[in-house]
Structure 1
């Protein structure tokens, strides 16, 4: 079983990231969907695993890619911040883009609201925000993604 920590929208308020890392370690990878506001280097150093980081709309001076496509555990991932796909309105644009790229796991941030759903054979994940949550209750959120050796996917939105 491989375990991935998925976070987003930390906006320079880093302590919750370190707290979540302490709670969830060991992990096999960390996916951050952007809006670090300068913390990406510190986060990469704190991780004891591979990192998959993309820049968000507030990462003005970041050298990070805006989008990533990669394979893990038999799945094709498409990771982006989401603002170019209007994710604050609906998920159809980002879902269509991910499918066009051959992805079956699409991960994004930007809206600060957690989403975890499967539509047909495609997973849509938004971990919400660790710093400025906007969903009802406004608790900082993140996602834990588990993929077993047969490629079966389990996931859970968690809250601090």
Structure 2
């Protein structure tokens, strides 16, 4: 299973279109907020049969998207959120606490425009994967390279993640 994970495209869709073309066929497409209206057309860019999951960002002013979602990706219970409601701009700690309290295996967020990947280990608790694909349109990390993540579920059901830059 191949999943493309993006965030914060802010209606500057050239890079998103190119990444979709480069990574197709996809089993799932996840947009973690701030598509700013493009959520209505992204479905026409992915291959037929691709599941679409999109959530509301802090700049999706007139959208009916959900603020967050609880989905299953293979055996992994996954939280999709833009992150601004968890103050991720100052760190992912509040998001981690919430994800652990609600029993998630993976927490995906956007908002910061900076890629992030961590396997959070806590004694006596299961590991929590926390990730942010960064931004394809307005990257803010050192080097300012547009970024996205690919998630693959292998034959044994294990998740693997790859951060990619344009």
Q: TM-score, normalised by structure 2?
A: 0.93
1:145 is matched with which residue?
A: 151
Q: Decide which moves more: 84-93 or 94-103.
A: 94-103
2:119 is matched with which residue?
A: 118
Does the CA contact (< 8 Å) of 2:24 and 2:46 recur in 1? Answer: no
Unpaired runs of 5+ in structure 2?
A: 122-126
Q: CA RMSD in A?
A: 0.8
SS at match of 2:77: strand
Shift of 1:147: 1.2
1:28 is matched with which residue?
A: 27
CA distance in 1, matches of 2:76, 2:39: 25
2:124 is matched with which residue?
A: none
SS at match of 2:112: coil
Does the CA contact (< 8 Å) of 1:141 and 1:157 recur in 2? Answer: yes
CA distance in 2, matches of 1:135, 1:114: 7
CA distance in 1, matches of 2:156, 2:104: 18
Unpaired runs of 5+ in structure 1?
A: none
CA distance in 1, matches of 2:89, 2:155: 34
Does the CA contact (< 8 Å) of 2:11 and 2:35 recur in 1? Answer: yes
* 4+ long deviations beyond 3 Å: none
1:16 is matched with which residue?
A: 15
Larger Rg: 2
Q: Decide which moves more: 39-48 or 129-138.
A: 39-48
SS at match of 1:88: helix
1:86 is matched with which residue?
A: 87
SS at match of 2:65: coil
1:134 is matched with which residue?
A: 140
Does the CA contact (< 8 Å) of 1:66 and 1:81 recur in 2? Answer: yes
The equivalences for 1:52-91 within 5 A come to 52-91=53-92
Aligned length: 159
SS at match of 1:133: coil
